Structures are given as structure tokens and as C-alpha cells.
Structure 1
């Protein structure tokens, strides 16, 4: 198994030689972000669950630990990663899931990746091991660096180990299907979202809305009576297909854009086809429109747009940062990775 000392030697050598390193676990998300650059620093050999306290709802594991292994161990105790990280491949690792910062259908009601990160160990660009946070929320004080690592795409350092909060699986789980047009679906989702209903996932596409309800049996039954609709057969398969983007919608040839907007935003007319998640806050768009047109329209409603898959990355995968925010990013990068060796150009 790889050791921290081996990582340190590699990082210090790369910093001295100004040799970029490309941090890589299973490679299941190599397509995400800007360009890939540098010699591969493979994390898969540094794996294993360090600590798991089911009664405390916390699991700590090394970066190269397969996501499937984490989820299998949690399932034995009827627990789960509530942010439902997509794998996008059999080799997905915990470190990659945290670095990518991507969450699945439960995100809107349970929280995103950074909401569940309690602590982390990071190998910085000087080869030093830094520890942040811990295994309980009260350990978090000052700048919450461990959560900042979620979604950083490995640009700040090598995430060695992470402690993540887990949750019990719900007692009951039912998915309802209702036929309705886009504007009505957005209105109803926001209406239901403002009520004490056990919502845990939503998906509208092509005139059909799927709504997942999870929680106590009595609460789920009451919500079913209120909302109506048909009960979906094999809902677990559907939500997994959505999370892993294996539904037919995601198989098109046009560029796939991820639009993040206020949930109450009405229909966004940009041509192409759309799929709506997270109560209206996340909208997937397949279109051949140019980036400037898409971002201008989405910015006008207070949102931002990410070129998720395919398309021309020369216009930038992620929404351009405001100058003040860009300067903060630059200072953070310089502080953690002064030689700029980790995943250069992966984000901006």
C-alpha cells in the first residue's frame, strides 16, 4: 500500500522540478473540468476505512478507498452517504467524490458534499500534512478548510483522508409519477417544497414529473394522499440511473450544460431539451448554443452555467469568476500550492 511518505517524496520532487502532478483516483471523472495536465499521481494504493462509528454517524477513510466499498459498509448498518455522490464508473474513489463535489438527487433536501465533510488531512504543495476539522461539528472553528476542499478538483493539494457525516436510510421510500408541463411542475415543486413533506428527489423531463418521498411511513403515506399520482415500480433503479446519468436524456450528442438557478425560476427557453432536478434549482440542458448566450440568459435570472460534458471548453467549463473572487482563489492556490503543481488549469 502507498504511504504518506511516498506521496511526500513525490510532491517535494515535483515542486523542486516545477513538474505538474495530476491527482487521479479511479479516473471516473477525468472528463470533468478543464484540461488534464501533469504526471499522474495515483491515489488508489492509499485506501481503507480508518474509523467508522455507526452510533456517531461518522466514517473516516483514505482517499483511494472505492466509493462502492464505503457504501457497502454503510449499508450493513442501514446507513448511507446522504448526498448520493455519482460514481460515473466502477473505479470511483472517496477522494475523487469529495474533490469533484458532485451530489445526486437527494442534494436539494439533504445537503451537498461540503455539508457532510467534517474533517480532512491534506498534503500541500510543500509536502506537509495539514489537518483540518475533526469527526464532530464542534471541531470546526475559524475558516472551514476541510469543506472548502469539496469541489476543489484537487487544485489545492492531495486529499489524504476525510471524515464524513452519514445518515440512516429512511424507513419508507416511494416515488410518485405525475404528468404535467414544465411551468406547472416548477410551480408545484416550489409549493410542495414549502410544506413539511418528506421530499428527497425530483425529476421532470418531457412532461413527466417523478417525485421521491422518503422518511417515516406515516409521513410518506400522508404525502402520497396529498400529492396523488401513480406509484413508480423499481424506483431505486430510476434514481440510480438519474444519478449516474444513464437515462436516455444524457445520451445525446449536444453539449450537456448544468444550470444552477433559483428554484422558483420559470421555464428557461434556450432551445434544445431540458431535465429539471432539485425542486427546480438544477436544470440540465442539451443544446448547441454558444456559451455566451447560455451564460447571459442564466445570469439574468441570478444563476450560473457549467459546461458539464462535451462541447467547446475554450470558453471555460465553469462560470467566469468575479475579479474579487478570482483573487481569493489565486491567494488560496498560492498558499496551499505555491509551486502550482497540483492539477494546473483543471478549474480555470
Structure 2
């Protein structure tokens, strides 16, 4: 569905392309910190807001890119549904377009899948002012090279996200969080063992010698799993606050001056032998590290373990100059450059946001 704001956007895009200027699309700006550089005239995408279509029985919702994620989640909760990937909300005004552009997922990603897995379709405006539609409203309509999921995590470098269709899921019938006193190595071992079993684990978080495990699903499944997990049950209100703090980075771990690294590792990776404080999620697949270790040394250690690292917050100027995001292999960079040129031949959108070459 077209919106009057889209005409304004098209004029701005065509003018920028003609004048050789650049634009930086943004929503609430809650993720401006996560960038190689912020370049281009700010372009506020909140001029079009609201839900376009919501079909609870078909498990999808379509909304304008400027719609607040909090409003979407409130609407879904009223029908006992959710965004199962639990997108991080680093502020109250996080928009749907910004959420998709960043591609970030929260604690439930380990069980439900990533944000990219839930994007059924997108409408974008490219660097020539064309409105392009990708994907559909249900999974069976999504086939071939799925551009709609390519937009997820593109940080506004390919086009303006006008509207998005997402798959939604029912809220779990019941949830329970358990806590165990374990050191890092033992916690990783236990999580690896649980990962090989059909347990209803929807989130894990280890920090400071305590491993929290969230169980979600039918009550009978939770009752059967709890003795296998062990530990003690956590009060429901306290548990909800914990997972909210991990999801939105308000947990005490995320406070501090040391650079924050997001480290992705394979499930068999051992303890991360680097100086600093660690918070581990997703059964060990995602590890947050607060460390003053220089970027080259850190990425060398992580790479040797089969993983990659993103300088999520902070960091020295020299470290950020080496790259906030994991450097791309030459062949991957070549494909990325061709995609950038196809969508944005004049280089209007967010130049250098991900890499200087884009």
C-alpha cells in the first residue's frame, strides 16, 4: 500500500542522486552507535507509520517501516502472539524498518530462529527512486533468491525500507526459568549436552557464575524438563525482568567503559580465553565480551576457534579503523559491491556504514 510520504522520499532520493549527495536513513537512531561511520544527510523514515495488514490466523503482520516495534508487539500480545526472535529494543522508539535494517535478534533466537528467518516480504525504494516489492505474506510465496531477507542486516545501505511483512508465532503456553551455579566451562558443557536433546529450552544466559535457562512450551513439557535441567526455579517476575535486561542490554554486564564485542562461535567452541568479562547466550553460540584486547589479537583468537567478532560498542579509534564488522573475504566483498551497485548505483544510501568499500 502506497503512502503519501513515499512521494516525498522519492523526490529526496532523486535529488540526492542528481546532485551527488548522500542520505542516511534512520528511525529512532537507537543503533547509530553500531557503524563503521555515519555519513549522509539524516533521512527520518518515521513519516509513514501504522499496521497495513494483520492476520492472526495466517500468522503474519505487515506494517510501514516507521511503525514502532513496541506498538506492534502490544498488538500481537493482545492476540497471544509474538515476534519470536525477540528483537533488541535499545530505546522506546525503535522502528520496524530500523529493526530489520540492523538484523539483530534476542534471547529466543536460539530456539525460534533469527530475524532474517521471519521476514516474509519487504517493499523498498532503491537509489533510483523505484519502489520494489520482494517476497510475500506467507512462506509458500517465498521462493528463489530471497532479496527480502537480504535487506535484513543491510543497515540502510541498499535502499529505504518502506514496509515489512513478518511471520508471527503464538506465545508459549507456559514458561519457567531455572538458575544453576556453574563456572563458564561447566556451563558450556551442560548447554552443549542439552542442545543434543529435545528439551524446550528457549533461552540461556551465563554470567558471573550463574546460568539461567528459560523453558517455554506446554506445561507438561516444562514439568518433564525441569528435573533434567536441575537448579532452582526463578520467580516469574524476576525471570521476565532478567530476560528483558538481556534482550535490551540493560543488564548490569552491559554497563561499563570497556569495548563491547559480540562474538559468534560454533557450538563446540570452548571457553573464550581472552581478558575481560563475558556474558554467554544461545547455548554458547553468542558471547558478549567486554575487553580492552586490541582488535587484531581478539579476532585472531576468535577466528582460530571458527568464529567472528563485531565491535558492538565503544573501542579505540585505531580498533574501529580496522573495522567494526568482521572483514569480508574478497569474493564476498565483490558480490556485496555488485549488490550495492544494483540497488544504489549512485551510492546515495549510507556510504561506508558497513565497510568503506560499500
Is 1:164 matched up with 2:163? no
**2:309, 2:247 → 1: CA distance?**
19
* CA-to-aligned-CA distance 1:217-260 (integer Å, 9 cap, x gap): 00011111211111112211110001111111110110000000
Equivalences for residues 1-348 of structure 1 within 5 A = 3-233=5-235, 234-312=238-316, 313-348=320-355
**1:227, 1:36 → 2: CA distance?**
45
**2:158, 2:144 → 1: CA distance?**
19
| C-alpha RMSD over aligned residues | 0.8
**1:104, 1:60 → 2: CA distance?**
21
Structure 1 SS opposite 2:28: coil
**1:189, 1:264 → 2: CA distance?**
10
Structure 1 SS opposite 2:331: helix
The Cα shift of 1:89 comes to 0.6
The Cα shift of 1:172 comes to 0.5
* CA-to-aligned-CA distance 1:133-168 (integer Å, 9 cap, x gap): 100112112210000100010100001011000000
Structure 1 SS opposite 2:88: coil
**1:3, 1:22 → 2: CA distance?**
17
* CA-to-aligned-CA distance 1:40-94 (integer Å, 9 cap, x gap): 1111111110000000110000100001110010000010000000110111001
Relative to the length of structure 2, the TM-score reads 0.96
Relative to the length of structure 1, the TM-score reads 0.99
Q: Which ranges of 4 or more aligned residues in structure 1 deviate by more than 2 Å?
A: none
Structure 1 SS opposite 2:309: strand
The Cα shift of 1:3 comes to 1.8
The Cα shift of 1:2 comes to 5.1
Higher mean displacement: 329-338 or 137-146: 137-146
**1:17, 1:165 → 2: CA distance?**
39
The Cα shift of 1:18 comes to 1.2
* CA-to-aligned-CA distance 1:288-311 (integer Å, 9 cap, x gap): 110000000000011000000000
Structure 1: runs of 5 or more not aligned: none
The Cα shift of 1:333 comes to 0.2
